[in-house]
Every structure is written in structure tokens, then in C-alpha cells.
Amino acid sequence: MGMTMSQKILAAHAGLKEVKAGQLITADLDIVLANDVTAPVAVKEFEKAGLSGVYDRDRVALVMDHFTPNKDIKAAEQCKCVRAFAKKNGVKNFFDVGEMGIEHALLPEKGLVGAGDLIIGADSHTCTYGALGAFATGVGSTDMAAGMATGKAWFKVPSALKFELIGKPARYVCGKDVILHIIGLIGVDGALYKSMEFTGEGLQHLTIDDRFTIANMAIEAGAKNGIFPVDHITRAYLHGRFKREPKEYAADADAEYERSFTVNLSKLKPTVAFPHLPSNTRTIDKVGDVKIDQVVIGSCTNGHISDLAVAAKILKGRRVAEGVRVIFFPATNDIYLEAMQKGYIKTFIQAGAVVSTPTCGPCLGGHMGILAAGERAVATTNRNFVGRMGHPESEVYLASPYVAAASAVTGRISSPKELK
């Protein structure tokens, strides 16, 4: 029996001719990642074990993005711990205020991750890099510490689900709607510890940013990873950016999948995930009258320049609805700068919104946008669990930048089609 794309990457990094679902392996890592929340735990385990240095100063990445600029004393101490560790061990890919961005947008932008890589990160949304044809997955801080020290990690080879994408998305439908539709279809545990492998002729209609969004939210279906085949869109993104030689893997024709799904992109509608699960989805025509207090556009899921472009087009010449707070979070400083150069930031501010430095802040209820009891937010983020963005009695509705921006104007969850 042949291997899936994910299994081929794992086999290559384990030095094996083949691997099978359920097999335990030890594999060499290309990148080991952590942030200001997860790295301090890893650092303590690293030091407790008496380890003298990281396995490769170029292959460890530490990004201060969750609570930075520091929101309080505890956050400041967390970052101080990681700064000291990075300096002591000569970690080259250390990103702090002024250089940082949201990690899962920053690493691809910097060319640190690419096709054929095996990547672990002490953050569940590390699976984002599957958009580039990499096997990328989240791990705990202890595994992160071991990875920093040895450049290796153990894996149970996952089985796989195949998603064949066909057709062309309609106007106002993007990658966020694709993944929300899929999660609504299979549930938040529908891909538990499995690879979500995306294929089909419909991929040609998905931009690299669409793919980042879809791979990013594979974890919301319980997946070990999400992965896309390498094609001309991937190669164009990596060209002149990726710092190492990309390696392209493709699933065998006889690769084994637990289940296969066909998703007709042309039939999808803008989709919204209601509280309190990403799987609690409704298409925009079935949302009803849901008034909102806040809109958040950004995050590692939808903070790309294309997401800001969508919002700017909708907000141009319009005003945010009275009583609605709108917060933008460009995913990296380069994206922020490009948005400034293209006039998007001016458009947002003139519309009555505010723009934050790149940070995970409101996505996890960290800072800069926390909700009070009874408040509702539409967000382009990835999770809407109870209390995710603040008070446990608040509500988060996940949506695309199209729906989020339109909702900012109307004051209720809306489609751009409703705007005059």
C-alpha cells in the first residue's frame, strides 16, 4: 500500500523507506518553534535537564507574540525569560517587539519554513505551514524542550482523511468559509489525530493565503496536521523567500485514506461559526438577526494582506456602525507596512476602527479587545470556545474578513451583499 503525503515526509525524516498509520517513529526536525507563552515552560524543562545548548541556532525560532507588547508584569517576566534564553544560546531566529509578528504568519514570511519540512511548535496552530507542503504540528512544551536540545521528536504516524476540492468559489467566499464548512461537516473531533490532506482541481482557485487559513484551522477538527500538495502557487510563494532547498512530496496513487470527501467550492456560501464551537456553523442566509458589539479582523488565521485588502474595500467611504468597536491586527510588521503603503490603515481609521501592532492579543482573550459579559464579537480568528475572548458570558462568532467587515458597517452579522 502506498503512502500519503504526510507519511512520506515522516518517513524521509525518520530515515525509513516507508511508514504506516499507527507506527511510532523518531524523526529529525527542520524547525522547532515556541512563543512567549509556551517557551518559558520549555526553557525551565531544558534547564532542569542540565542541557548545555540548542541543537542548531538556525533551526530554533522563538516569537514573542501572544502578550506583547507586554500587557502586565507576568507577561513581562515571561518574555524576559525567553530573551535571556535566546541570548545565552545564540538563537538567531528570535523575534521581539519591533521585529515580531504573529508566529504562524511570520515564519513563512521570513522563509524559515517550506515544502517538505518537518516542523514542531509549542502552539496548536503550527499546522498552518501545511499550506506550503510541510508536515507541521503542535506539541507540548516538554517535547519542545527535547526538540530544541536534540533536533528530534517522536511521532505516531497519523492515518489520513482526503478532501478533494472541486469547482470555483463564488464571490465573497474564501478559505475561511471552506474550512468552516468542512469543520461543520465532520465536527471538532472529526479528524482526531489524523492528517487532513487537501487535493483536487479546485486548489487552483485558492490563494496561498486561503491555504494558510485552511491549514491553520485543521486543528479545530482535531487533526494532527493539514497539508496541501506543492503546485505553482506554492512555488511562487517560496521562490526567493525560502532559505533552504524545498522538497516536494506527493501522495501515492494507492495511498490509503480512512475517508474521502468531495467539497464543491462553487456551492459554498459565506459561513459563520456560532458559539461555542467552530463546528456550530450556519451559512450567511441562515444567520438571522445577530447584533454585535465588536469586530476583530486579524490573527494567524486571517491577518494577511489579502484579508486587510478585503476589509479596506468594504470599509472605503463607509463608517463603522454606532456602538460597534472594530479592531484590526495585521499579522506581521511587513503586512502592517504594506497596508499603510496601500492606504488600508487610513481607510480603517477614517471608518472609525483602530489598528493594533501585530499580536495574538484578543484571539485568546489576552489583551486589546477583551469582551465583557453579554457582549458579542464577530472575529476572523480560529476559536470561539466559552470565554475565549474574555468573559465566559460573552460570545464569539467566527467568520471571514468579508463578513466581519460588512458586519462592522451594519452592526449585525451581515453579508457584503447587504451593503448599498
CATH no., domain 5-263? 3.30.499.10
DSSP collapsed to 3 states, 95-128: ECCCCCCCHHHHHHHCCCCCCCCEEEECCHHHHH
Q: Note the pLDDT tens digit of each residue in 9-25.
A: 999 999 999 999 999 99
Average pLDDT, stretch 208-225?
A: 97
Q: Note the pLDDT tens digit of each residue in 161-186.
A: 999 999 999 999 999 999 999 999 99
C-alpha cell at 381: 480568528
What pLDDT shows up at residue 141?
86
| pLDDT above 80 (res 420) | no
What pLDDT shows up at residue 40?
94
What pLDDT shows up at residue 136?
98
Q: What is the band of 366 on the pLDDT scale with cuts at 50, 70, 90?
A: confident
What pLDDT shows up at residue 413?
97
CA dihedral angle for residue 50, residue 55, residue 58, residue 60, rounded to 10 degrees: -60
Tell me the C-alpha distance between 107 and 114, whole Å.
Answer: 9
Q: What is the band of 105 on the pLDDT scale with cuts at 50, 70, 90?
A: very high
DSSP collapsed to 3 states, 189-252: CCCCCEEEEEECHHHHHCCHHHHHHHHHHHHHHCCCEEECCCCHHHHHHHCCCCCCCCCCCCCC
| pLDDT above 90 (res 213) | yes
Q: What is the band of 402 on the pLDDT scale with cuts at 50, 70, 90?
A: very high
Residue that has been written with the C-alpha cell 449585525 in this structure: 412
Q: Is 189 exposed, middle or buried (0-12, 13-18, 19+ CB in 10 A)?
A: exposed
Q: Note the pLDDT tens digit of each residue in 301-316.
A: 999 999 999 999 999 9
- Tell me whether strands 24-28 and 152-156 are parallel, antiparallel or unpaired: antiparallel
Q: How far is CA 174 from CA 6, 150, 168, 271, 310, in A?
A: 25, 40, 10, 10, 11
Tell me the C-alpha distance between 234 and 257, whole Å.
Answer: 24
Q: How far is CA 10 from CA 71, 78, 166, 231, 253, in A?
A: 39, 33, 28, 20, 18
What pLDDT shows up at residue 107?
97
What pLDDT shows up at residue 361?
84
Taking the domains of the chain in order of start, what are their residue ranges? 5-263, 273-418
Average pLDDT, stretch 156-163?
A: 97
In the chain, % of residues over pLDDT 90: 90
Q: What is the band of 389 on the pLDDT scale with cuts at 50, 70, 90?
A: confident
What pLDDT shows up at residue 419?
85
Residues 151, 59 contacting (CB under 8 angstroms)? yes
Q: Note the pLDDT tens digit of each residue in 342-356.
A: 999 999 999 999 999
What pLDDT shows up at residue 48?
87
Q: Note the pLDDT tens digit of each residue in 28-87.
A: 999 999 999 999 999 998 988 888 889 999 999 999 999 888 889 999 999 999 999 999
Q: Is 420 exposed, middle or buried (0-12, 13-18, 19+ CB in 10 A)?
A: exposed
Beta-bridge mates of residue 138: 121
Q: Note the pLDDT tens digit of each residue in 184-208.
A: 999 999 999 999 999 999 999 999 9
CATH fold for domain 273-418 = Aconitase; domain 3 (3.30.499)
